[in-house]
Amino acid sequence: MPDRRPHVLVPILRAQAAPALLQVAEAMLRREGGDGHVLGVVEIPPGREIARGVTVARRYRSLLQRITGLERRETAGFGVQVRVAHNVAQAVREAAFENGSTLIVLEWPGLTKRPADRNLEDLIADPPADLLLVRGGEEPEGAESRILVPIRGGASAELALRAAAAMARHKRIRLNVMHVYEPRLSVEQRRAEAGTFRRALKALGRTRPEIIEVERRTARRWWWACGWPRRCAGCRAP
């Protein structure tokens, strides 16, 4: 049988994002087995030789020391790699290929007014492996100990469920999985959609979540009545 354990690559492009990325990656490896690598990339301007330059060497050593320190604090069993490259996205692709990575955990900046991250857009446009985008930050004020995963049952649903189940186990908190139906669906269409949703739930394995199934016209009312915008952290998938 093929080895389905994940081989995880965690590119650290901003030191501030490292704790959240490593927490998710470690949680998945603890739940599913496999191995992981932390990747640091020193990007230098095109035309400058990678192997030369005192400044690049200093940045290289500094980055290596910083990531090694994060690795000691946050993760056990992660290999640490640092690359000097002209293009970050290409360096991530090469590392993924050489390590046989099946999952890449990346920082997602969220919907902000900041300029788009060209490296993230590059990797999303042509991913070298499954991508799991993680948005760090503090939990909402008054947040309860539970995770909400709204899914439709598409290609990303299984990965979102795996990550959510891993985090629920890691934090020892409740897991809620939500599916919203379009009220205009025929009986046959709804039955087919429900079947797709139920099949996606198999990704949870032995994890037993609370299942929430509502229609779109009542979803917002249910959402606010339960206080979800103020009281939980969430994962979502198409």
Cβ(9)–Cβ(96) below 8 Å = yes
191 burial (CB, 10 Å; 0-12 / 13-18 / 19+) is exposed
Residue 230 lies in a domain: yes
Q: Are residues 162 and 121 in the same domain?
A: no
Q: Are residues 109 and 200 in the same domain?
A: no
Q: Where are the alpha helices (DSSP H) in the chain?
A: 18-32, 54-74, 88-99, 118-125, 157-171, 187-200, 216-225, 228-231
In sequence order, the β-bridge partners of residue 125 are: none
Tell me: pLDDT of 227 over 60.
no
Among 160, 128, 170, CA closest to 11? 128
Domain that holds residue 154: 146-234
Residue 205 lies in a domain: yes
Cβ(200)–Cβ(157) below 8 Å = yes
**103, 134, 165: which is the final residue of a domain?**
134
Q: Are residues 129 and 173 in the same domain?
A: no
Q: How many domains does the chain have?
A: 2
Q: Are residues 31 and 120 in the same domain?
A: yes
Most confident listed range (1-15, 42-56, 90-104, 149-163): 90-104
Q: Are residues 151 and 174 in the same domain?
A: yes
Residue 38 lies in a domain: yes
What are the strands of the beta sheet with 233-234, ordered from one edge? Answer: 210-215, 174-181, 146-150, 233-234
Q: Are residues 151 and 64 in the same domain?
A: no
Residue-wise pLDDT for 183-225, tens only, equals 888 889 989 988 988 888 888 888 888 888 888 776 666 565 5
pTM over 0.85: no
Q: What is the mean pLDDT of residues 109-122?
A: 75
SS3 of residue 196 by DSSP: helix
Give the DSSP per-residue string, 55-82.
HHHHHHHHHHHHHHHHHHHH-SSEEEEE
Q: Are residues 13 and 128 in the same domain?
A: yes
Q: Are residues 15 and 113 in the same domain?
A: yes
pLDDT of residue 105: 95
Question: Which of 98-102, 109-113, 189-193, 212-216 is least confident?
Answer: 109-113
Residue 114 lies in a domain: yes
Cβ(31)–Cβ(126) below 8 Å = no
Among 13, 16, 11, 21, CA closest to 163? 21
Between residues 233 and 137, the one the model is more confident about: 137
Question: Which of 49-58, 79-88, 151-160, 224-233 is least confident?
Answer: 224-233
Q: How confident is the model at residue 68 (pLDDT cuts 50, 70, 90)?
A: low
Q: Are residues 43 and 21 in the same domain?
A: yes
Residue 225 lies in a domain: yes
Q: CATH no. for residue 17? A: 3.40.50.620
Q: Are residues 155 and 196 in the same domain?
A: yes
Residue 14 lies in a domain: yes
Residue 141 lies in a domain: no
